[in-house]
Chains A and B, each alone.
Chain A
Amino acid sequence: MGAERNSSRPARILITGATSGIGLALVRRHAPKARVLAGGRRAAADAHGVLPDGVSYVQADQREPERAVAAILGGLDELGWDGLDLAILNAGIGHAVDPAEETPSMLRDVLDTNLFAAIALAQALLARLEAGQGRLVLIGSTAHKGAPGFASYAAAKAGLHGFARALSEEWKGRVAVQVIHPGPTDTGMHARAGHDPGRVARLFARTETMARLIDRLIAGGRTVETISFARFLGRGQGGR
């Protein structure tokens, strides 16, 4: 697994978007054997109610990327982490909306949270990732090829895809960069986005399943990975 290292000390892992959905499932997987700094939008008191014991938390709302970066760097400093073994940038939001009705503030929030915050964090984390011979993992979406009901979300995830592919080439030999695109998962994001997937929702992957597949793909180390419906159904891990 990406988080396990040969050295004796436990891995230092940063996970954003960590208080719900796939991010929370990833934190739960890693917390027993690694040191985890979780980032999220919620106030610390709320977040500690859902996070496993021993996990550090920093409130960092990615809708304001510059402030979120400062908060996360502060959290890393507080822990005394001058190196990172793994950063999983997972924070994401989307709106199910007719694109002509999407307001400037909706568009800006979606682009900032899903894309610009990841760009800003990648830049800010480089020194620590290099020091820790770490790995940068960006969580995309299978929507990155286009989605009429989630146009700005698809656009932001497409940006993340192109960013990760090009950056992985630039940082070759320094820091490994991956983008992993999960398919539909029962994260609650659809409901928050104002979208009812209907009966199809019964086929969505459970967040725990998705987190397990993501960890496996991180260990595999390929630059681009997609966890489509077919992929997890093919492994007999779909459904509920």
Chain B
Amino acid sequence: MRTALVTGGSAGLGRAMVERLLARGWRVVSVDRDEGPREPNMEHVACDLSDRSEVDALPARLGALAPFHLAVFNAGVSATGRFEAIPLDAYRRLMTVNAETPMILAAELVRSGHLAGPICFVSSLSHFTGYPGAVVYAASKDALAIYARSVRKPFARRGVSVTLACPGPLRTAHAERHAPPGADAARRMAPDIAARIILDATFAGRRLVVPGRTNRLAAIAGALLPGAMMRQMRRLIFERLDRDVW
């Protein structure tokens, strides 16, 4: 039986990926702070991925469950509002979960040989559009995206392909919590659809996947006209935020 590692597998997109992998006959190791619904063939590893000492202890725990044939670095948190209104320690935890921890775990899994299969780094559509109203989240997701692009060749030499996933807004509790008031949840993509598209792209070894046509158009627009897209994001997000949430 093949084994997948998924971080942030208890809820949202991570949960959808766990469910899909289980349905495809995989064994799944889910690393998350809180435990989600239990399933056969699924193992929960409790770890606060924003805590450096817990992260340092994680590779040894994962080593006992290795080898892995897929690793999805999906865990992420956000902080929305005015940059200066959110406390620095919240930004510290965000940067650790979203950028530092996935890099540390990926390097460790590839170096140790515990991973024999593809990696997927889950970044964000904000990598293409910019994200005023969540500037540190945007920074963390840009960092992860460029890390994914940078390690693609060196990791390929060790037999590990790297896929960068940049999903747009999803119909998850996470998005609900951080969206501006009045945002239409029906227009967000269902997480199980995004999970399928992202996993298929990862197994195919694709460099980049942006699930959904509207999101791909936004990504292209952001790449071609970054300034105009950033101003549009300011109007759509930053000017409509009525609270600071972290």
Tell me the A residues contacting B by CB distance below 8 Å. 66, 98-104, 107-108, 111, 115-116, 119-120, 122-123, 126, 144-148, 150-152, 154-163, 165-167, 169-172, 223-224
Closest A residue to B144 by CB, please name it.
Answer: A155
Closest B residue to A157 by CB, please name it.
Answer: B146
Please list the 5 inter-chain residue pairs (A to B) with the smallest Cβ-Cβ separation, ordered nearest first. A162-B142, A158-B146, A159-B143, A151-B150, A163-B139
Bound state CA distance, A152 and B101, in angstroms? 12
Q: Which B residues are CB-close (under 8 A) to A115?
A: 95, 139, 143
Q: Are B84 and A150 in contact (CB under 8 A)?
A: no
Bound state CA distance, A147 and B230, in angstroms? 25
Q: Is B15 an interface residue (CB 8 A)?
A: no
Q: Are A170 and B82 in contact (CB under 8 A)?
A: yes
Task: Enumerate B89-113 residues with CB–CB distance to A below 8 Å.
Answer: 91-92, 95, 99-100, 103-104, 107-108, 110-111
**A155-B147, A166-B131, A166-B132 given as contacts; is B142 within 8 A of A116 (CB)?**
no
Interface of A is mostly: helix
Bound state CA distance, A159 and B140, in angstroms? 6
**A120-B88, A169-B230 given as contacts; is B154 within 8 A of A162 (CB)?**
no
**Number of A-B pairs, beta carbon distance below 8 Å:** 149
Bound state CA distance, A161 and B136, in angstroms? 11
Interface of B is mostly: helix
Q: Is B68 an interface residue (CB 8 A)?
A: no
Q: Are A148 and B141 in contact (CB under 8 A)?
A: no
Q: Which A residues are CB-close (under 8 A) to B54?
A: none
Task: Enumerate B203-246 residues with CB–CB distance to A below 8 Å.
Answer: 226-227, 230-231, 233-234, 238
**A99-B107, A123-B88, A166-B130 given as contacts; is B139 within 8 A of A160 (CB)?**
yes
Min distance, Cβ B86 to any Cβ of chain A, angstroms:
9
Further contacts, 15 of them, CB under 8 A, given A111-B95, A111-B103, A120-B88: A99-B147, A100-B158, A102-B107, A108-B100, A148-B150, A155-B147, A158-B142, A162-B142, A163-B135, A166-B131, A166-B132, A166-B139, A169-B230, A170-B82, A170-B234
Bound state CA distance, A151 and B72, in angstroms? 19
Q: Are A169 and B142 in contact (CB under 8 A)?
A: no
